[in-house]
């Protein structure tokens, strides 16, 4: 397992406990992190990126201890923060090259080849000479993804990489991520449940800084089997009117409702109950 | 066209076995003859084509760096160091010239009463590098700071490199302005040690606080000292020999602290 985390705790100040004894493991493949706003996804990813240090618990990343072998881990790490910043006066090429330098790629020719490779992988070759300030938000996002792929890292951490991408680009991105996940460990935090269902081998659902579920998307979906209903009346734990004018309910069956096959989203909502409702507004 | 390539020649050319003269004449012919290009195409190994293509790509899209980066490379700074420096806002030409302009105007404004001009200049000259260093690194100043933190390159090294570059780029104009407008007297360089002391002190403090805040705190401290010693009339008390020894001490102690605690900066 490339990531083994046990009893991880992290608090910001005294009152805000972001992680409360989180345990999980992740191996080669795409691992999804789901959870409502404030569940601790970003905190976890920043701990895995060695940007934060935990208050308690143990972490092993790529078989190493981040407390003592941080540099060795950083050399094999790709990281896209949730709100990445860019030097807007740099061109796409210059910015990615800048990160490549921070990744200690010293040989210029080899570095430039690698920079071109990742820019091509996210489909930005045509604008690689453009200033970052002149790009659209989605394109900037792709610059962020490109830099996370530099040097073929063994552990790739992506914090909501698909936020702000159009559907076509999201599809391209899925393709790219699944390709990376073939022989690497990818940890992907997202609110896009379809992304998880489409490309993750495993899912971890975070709730209040703990793991509320760990398993395959299919296992997650199975949680809602026998708890998902369709009918004329509102009811259950959660219920909403679908486009067809009938109510989809999760939990206790409303009167006259019939059982239907759940989706991964149904199971996620069932798992989080009230918290999900609040987060969804 | 008097001749065309045969298969043997094409193979030898593709493998790179021809001597330079023959290869050159083959190339001249290839440019003009589609038939021979067709003969050659399947002979050239894919890997070799890719390599050639990479070289062309490197030459074509290796973008020309910005003016500041070019300038740095011109004075012998290595290309990756130049890129790391160019990422700092306070190393942009606009910032550097703004700093120089502030000093210039301060001197010109106080020109009639030369002594005030000198004090004003000496008081402001260290602030320019301190502010520049405060805006050269750290979460608040570096938009890609978070990405950089997770990269193996030492954040401490980036900080020192940028601080040194800011010191040089702000000291040069200040020295020129001082000597040109305030006279050929070493007193006009009396701000140098205070500048070193204040910047190194703010570097040490940035272990705990945001660099810009450290720069601000140190600058306020400095200006308070200047104001205190200049209440009645222009005075160079802050630049006395004792003072200079003090600045030297602060610089050395800060330097030692920085080196000793360098691990804590990443
Ligand atoms: N720098 C910080 N200072 C103080 N509290 C913080 C900080 N960062 C996060 N928190 C708190 O920690 C908790 C977990 O936040 P985190 O950003 O990890 O959640 P998240 O799952 O990534 O949420 P989102 O889906 O909104 O990105 C939240 O309660 C948040 O308010
Ligand atoms: Mg987050
Ligand atoms: Zn011919």
DSSP-assigned letter for residue B151: S
What is the residue-averaged pLDDT of chain B? Answer: 85
**Closest CA–CA distance from residue A109 to any residue of chain B (Å):** 8
Q: How confident is the model at residue B62 (pLDDT cuts 50, 70, 90)?
A: low
Do A115 and A187 lie in one domain? The reply is yes
Q: What percent of chain A has pLDDT over 90?
A: 50
My answer on whether A86 and A180 are in the same domain is yes
**Domain check: are A132 and A198 in the same one?**
yes
Domain stops at, among A201, A216, A231: A216
Supply the Cα-derived Rg of chain A in whole angstroms: 20
Same-domain status, A97 and A156: yes
Confidence band for A261, pLDDT divided at 50, 70 and 90 = confident
What interhelical angle do B67-74 and B79-86 show, nearest 10? 140
Question: Quick check: B153 and A71 CB within 8 A?
Answer: no
Q: What percent of chain A has pLDDT over 70?
A: 97
Q: Which range marks the domain in which residue A241 is found?
A: 221-280
Q: Which ligand is nearest to the CA of B9?
A: 3
Residue B87 has pLDDT above 80, yes or no: yes
> Closest Cα partner for A192 from A215, A227, A165?
A165
Alpha helices in B43-92 (DSSP H): 46-61, 67-74, 79-86
Nearest chain A Cα distance for residue B195, angstroms: 28
DSSP string for chain A: --EEEEEEEEEETTTEEEEEEEEEEE-SEEEEEE--TTSSHHHHHHHHTTSS--SEEEEEETTB-TTT-HHHHHTTEEEE-SS----TTSBHHHHHHHHHHHTT---HHHHHHHHHHHHHHTT-GGGTTSBGGGS-HHHHHHHHHHHHTTT--SEEEEESTTTT--HHHHHHHHHHHHHHTTTSEEEEE-S-HHHHHHH-SEEEEEETTEEEEEE-HHHHHHTTTTSEEEESS--SSEEEE-TTSPEEEESSPPTT-EE----HHHHHHHHHTHHHHHHH-
Domain count, chain A: 2
The confidence band for B138, taking pLDDT boundaries of 50, 70 and 90, is confident
My answer on whether A19 and A92 are in the same domain is yes
User: A108, B79: Cβ pair inside 8 Å?
Assistant: yes
Taking only the tens place, the pLDDT of each residue in B27-60 is 888 878 888 888 887 777 776 776 776 666 666 6
* Ligand 1 atom 29, closest CA: A38
Question: What distance in Å separates residue A61's CA from the closest CA in chain B?
Answer: 13
User: From ligand 2's centre to the CA of B35, what distance in Å?
Assistant: 61
Whose tokens are 């981040």? That residue is: A66
| pLDDT tens track for A263-278 | 888 888 888 875 555 5
How far A103 CA sits from the closest chain B CA (Å)?
A: 5
The string of pLDDT tens digits covering residues A134-184 is 998 888 999 999 999 999 999 999 999 988 788 888 888 888 889 889 989
- The 3-state DSSP class for residue B256 equals helix
pTM: 0.82
Residues 30..69 of B with a Cβ closer than 8 Å to A: which? 54, 57-58, 61-63, 65-66
Q: Do B151 and A102 touch (CB under 8 A)?
A: yes
pLDDT for residue A172: 85
Q: What Cα–Cα distance (Å) separates residue A59 from each residue in A74, B149, B153?
A: 14, 18, 22
Structural contact between residues B211 and B194, judged by C-beta atoms closer than 8 angstroms? no
What's chain A's average pLDDT?
89
Give distance in angstroms: CA of A36 to centre of ligand 2. Answer: 9
Residue from A81, A102, A144, A157 to probe the interface with B (highest B Cβ count within 10 Å)? A102
The whole-angstrom distance between residue A221's C-alpha and the CA centroid of its chain comes to: 19
Specify the pLDDT at position A216.
92
Calculate how far, in angstroms, residue A42's C-alpha sits from the geometric centre of ligand 1.
7
Q: Which of B51, B67, B144 to mutate to test the interface with A (most CBs of A within 10 A)?
A: B144
Q: In B, which residues are within 8 Å of A77 by CB distance?
A: 150
A128 and A114 in a single domain? The answer is yes
Instruction: Note whether A188 and A232 are same-domain residues.
Output: no
Chain B environment of A91 (Cβ under 8 Å): 63
Q: Under an 8 A CB cutoff, do A85 and B143 touch?
A: yes
Q: Which of B73, B230, B143 is nearest to A132 (CA)?
A: B143
Ligand 3 center to B9 CA (angstroms): 11
Which token pair is B20?
């330079």
Q: Does B149 sit within 8 Å of A99, measured CB to CB?
A: no
A91 shares its domain with A121: yes
B34 Cα–ligand 2 center, Å:
58
CA–CA distances in Å: residue B58 to residues A61, A95, B165, B246 = 35, 16, 29, 52
Q: Which atom of ligand 1 is nearest to the CA of A13?
A: 4
Ligand in nearest proximity to the CA of B30 = 3
Using a 6 Å cutoff on CB, does residue A240 contact ligand 1?
A: no
Query: Ligand 1: does its nearest atom lie under 6 Å from the Cβ of A43?
Result: yes
Answer whether B84 touches A (CB < 8 Å). Answer: yes
Q: Are residues A115 and A252 in the same domain?
A: no
CATH at residue A33: 3.40.50.300
pLDDT tens figures, A61-109: 999 999 899 999 999 999 999 999 999 889 999 999 999 999 999 888 8
Locate the chain B residue with the closest alpha carbon to A66: B150
Ligand 2: centre distance to CA B45 (Å)? 48
Q: Whose CA is nearest to atom 5 of ligand 1?
A: A12
- What is the C-alpha to C-alpha distance for residues A49 and A85, in angstroms, rounded to an integer? 16
Assess whether the C-beta atom of A123 lies below 6 angstroms from ligand 1. Answer: no
Question: A209 CB under 6 A from ligand 1?
Answer: no
Last residue of a domain, one of A200, A216, A232: A216
CB of A241 within 8 A of CB of A262? no
When pLDDT is cut at 50, 70 and 90, the band that residue A223 belongs to is confident
Ligand nearest to the CA of B34: 3
> 3-class DSSP state for residue B118?
helix
Q: What pLDDT is recorded for position B112?
A: 60
- State whether residue B261 is helix, strand or coil: coil
* A107 and A58 co-located in one domain: yes
Residues of chain A found within 8 Å of residue B148, distances taken between Cβ atoms = 99, 102
Q: Is B234 on the interface with A (CB under 8 A)?
A: no
Please report the pLDDT score of residue A281 as a whole number. Answer: 44
Least confident of A38-42, A213-217, B31-35, B204-208: B31-35
**Same structural domain, A190 and A225:** no
CB contacts, 8 Å: A95 with chain B: 144
Nearest to B61 among A93, A103, A108 (CB): A93
Q: A35 CA distance to ligand 1 centroid (A)?
A: 12
Q: Which ligand 1 atom is at minimum distance from the Cα of A209? A: 14
What is the arithmetic mean of pLDDT over A43-70? Answer: 93
Q: What is the C-alpha to C-alpha distance for residues A119 and A147, in angstroms, rounded to an integer?
A: 8
Residues A27, A67 share a domain: yes
Sheet with strand A56-61: strands edge to edge: A16-26, A3-12, A56-61
d(CA A139, CA A147): 13
CA A78 to chain centre: 13
Tokens 């081998």 belong to which residue? A201
């Amino acid at each position: 397992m490339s990531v083994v985390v046990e009893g991880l705790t992290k608090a910001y100040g005294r009152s805000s406990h972001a992680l409360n004894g989180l345990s999980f493991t992740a191996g080669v493949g795409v691992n999804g992190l789901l959870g409502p706003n404030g569940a601790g996804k970003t905190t976890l990813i920043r701990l895995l990126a060695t940007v934060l240090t935990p208050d308690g618990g143990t972490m092993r990343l790529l078989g190493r201890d981040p407390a003592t072998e941080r540099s060795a881990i950083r050399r094999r790490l790709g990281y896209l923060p949730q709100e990445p910043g860019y030097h807007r006066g740099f061109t796409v090429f210059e910015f990615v090259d800048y990160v490549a330098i921070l990744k200690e790629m010293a040989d210029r020719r080899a570095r430039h080849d690698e920079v071109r490779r990742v820019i091509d992988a996210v489909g930005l070759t045509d604008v690689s000479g453009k200033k970052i300030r002149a790009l659209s938000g989605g394109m900037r996002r792709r610059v962020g993804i490109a830099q996370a792929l530099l040097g073929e890292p063994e552990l790739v951490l992506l914090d909501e990489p698909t936020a702000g991408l159009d559907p076509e680009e999201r599809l391209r991105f899925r393709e790219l991520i699944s390709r990376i996940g073939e022989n690497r460990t990818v940890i992907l935090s997202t609110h896009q449940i379809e992304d998880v269902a489409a490309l993750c081998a495993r899912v971890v659902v975070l709730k209040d800084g703990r793991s509320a579920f760990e398993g395959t998307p299919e296992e997650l979906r199975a949680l809602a089997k026998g708890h998902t209903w369709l009918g004329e009346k509102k009811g259950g734990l959660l219920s909403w009117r679908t486009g067809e004018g009938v109510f989809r309910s999760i939990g206790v069956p409303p009167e006259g409702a019939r059982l239907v096959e759940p989706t991964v989203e149904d199971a996620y909502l069932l798992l989080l109950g009230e918290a999900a409702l609040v987060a969804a507004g | 066209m008097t001749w065309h390539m045969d298969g043997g020649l094409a193979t030898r050319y593709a493998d790179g076995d021809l001597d330079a003269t023959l290869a050159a004449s083959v190339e001249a012919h290839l440019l003009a003859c589609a038939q021979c290009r067709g003969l050659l195409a399947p002979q050239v190994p894919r890997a070799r084509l890719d390599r050639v293509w990479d070289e062309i790509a490197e030459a074509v899209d290796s973008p020309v760096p910005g003016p500041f980066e070019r300038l740095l490379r011109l004075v012998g700074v290595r290309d990756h160091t130049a890129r790391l420096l160019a990422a700092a806002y306070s190393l942009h030409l606009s910032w550097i010239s703004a700093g120089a302009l502030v000093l210039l105007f301060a001197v010109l404004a106080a020109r009639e009463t030369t002594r005030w001009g000198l004090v004003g200049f000496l008081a402001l000259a260290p602030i320019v590098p301190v502010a520049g260093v405060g805006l050269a690194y750290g979460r608040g100043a570096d938009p890609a700071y978070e990405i950089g933190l997770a990269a193996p390159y030492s954040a401490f090294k980036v900080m020192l490199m940028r601080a040194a570059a800011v010191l040089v780029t702000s000291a040069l104009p200040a020295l020129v302005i001082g000597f040109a407008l305030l006279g050929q007297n070493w007193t006009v360089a009396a701000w140098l040690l205070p500048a070193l002391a204040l910047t190194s002190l703010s570097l040490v403090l940035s272990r705990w606080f945001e660099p810009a805040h450290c720069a601000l705190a140190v600058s306020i401290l400095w200006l308070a000292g200047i104001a205190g010693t200049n209440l009645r009339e222009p005075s160079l008390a802050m630049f006395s020999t004792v003072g200079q020894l003090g600045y030297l001490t602060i610089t050395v102690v800060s330097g030692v602290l920085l080196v000793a605690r360098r691990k804590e900066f990443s």
